[in-house]
Structure 1
Amino acid sequence: MWDYPRPPTVVAASGRLVEVWFGGRLVASTRRAVRVLETSHPPVYYLPPRDVVTELITPGEGLSFCEWKGQAQYWDLQVGSRQAVRAAWSYPEPLPAYRELRDMLAFYPGRVDRCTVDGEAVRAQEGEFYGGWITSEITGPYKGGPGTSGW
């Protein structure tokens, strides 16, 4: 990850099966995900809305701004009586270099029950703000844990 680019780069996930589970439901399943690679961060997977059960998500509170990608919108996830606040985010109007991310959804692995890449369970990147997906092929250190915000 230390050889990942800055500014971040969007790359195809090479047909990998990317899935998100919450409340006993498969919330998203796709082979059309893209990954965003950024220095000192595990990859973040962005999923096309057509491969997400969008009736389970509603706009969440708050916005944030990425100097590279633009303004992010947050999404809450509701399955039955279970709710995950700000479980995902998207860029409705990304900056031009990231237009490929328009309306795609990125899920926080730590706010849902399970995320997988080709069947491998993902570990969540530490920290409340970061949404990286850590698999066995990803090695740290990476931002998110205590004492890493100044890197």
Structure 2
Amino acid sequence: MRRPRPIAPAAGQESVWDYPRPPRIEPVAERITIHLGGDLIVDTRDAVRVLETSHPPVYYLPIVDFVPGALVDAPGTSFCEFKGAARYFDVRGGDTLRQGAAWNYPHPAPGFEMLADRVAVYAAPMDECTVGDEVAVPQPGGFYGGWVTTSVVGPFKGVPGSQGW
């Protein structure tokens, strides 16, 4: 499968095709919020993002910044060749529960130690996820956990036909 043609970024934008592989982790300056079930379940200025070729950023937020009871241990594990073994959480807000909607790496691989006490959340099952003042859109396809904002351009892994990218 051939690599897709990257969209040229405008001023102030990043192309996900300029992100590295293996991924890079970096601090985020913007405020990050997540709403679920009509409740604000996290509001932080202490996020990091993981940047990987062809993927919009995945935001990892401190577990301690979630309101009590918002993260509930869930069954399931997965493995990332770069970050290591992940565990999953159900996410609760108001009277709403989204099963398996968050994950973290409790013992991340070398280079990703900053993720140990942080959790990433799929944007699609939430009411709203924001980066700064912008509402994020879920990465296409439902499998990956990136958040798309106007600051990044693709095409993004997850669209039909992108499995081999």
TM-score (norm 2): 0.87
| Aligned match of 1:114 | 128
Question: Does structure 1 residue 51 correspond to structure 2 residue 65?
Answer: yes
Which residue of 72, 85, 93 maps to 2:99? 85
Q: How does 1:1-151 map to 2 (within 5 A)?
A: 1-14=16-29, 16-151=30-165
Give the structure, 1 or 2, with the largest relative contact order (CA under 8 Å, sep 6 or more): 2
More helix by share: 1
Give the whole-Å Cα distance in 1 for the aligned partners of 2:49 and 2:94.
30
One-letter identity of the residue aligned with 2:146: G
SS of the aligned residue for 1:28 comes to strand
Compute the RMSD of aligned alpha carbons. Answer: 1.0
Residue correspondences, number: 150
Larger radius of gyration, structure 1 or 2? Answer: 2
Distance (whole Å) between structure 2 residues aligned to residue 19 and residue 91 of structure 1? 21
> TM-score if structure 1 supplies the norm length?
0.95
**Counterpart-to-counterpart distance in 2, 1:54 and 1:38:** 31
Secondary structure (helix, strand or coil) at the match of 2:42 reads: strand
Structure 1 unpaired stretches of 5+ = none
Identity %: 49
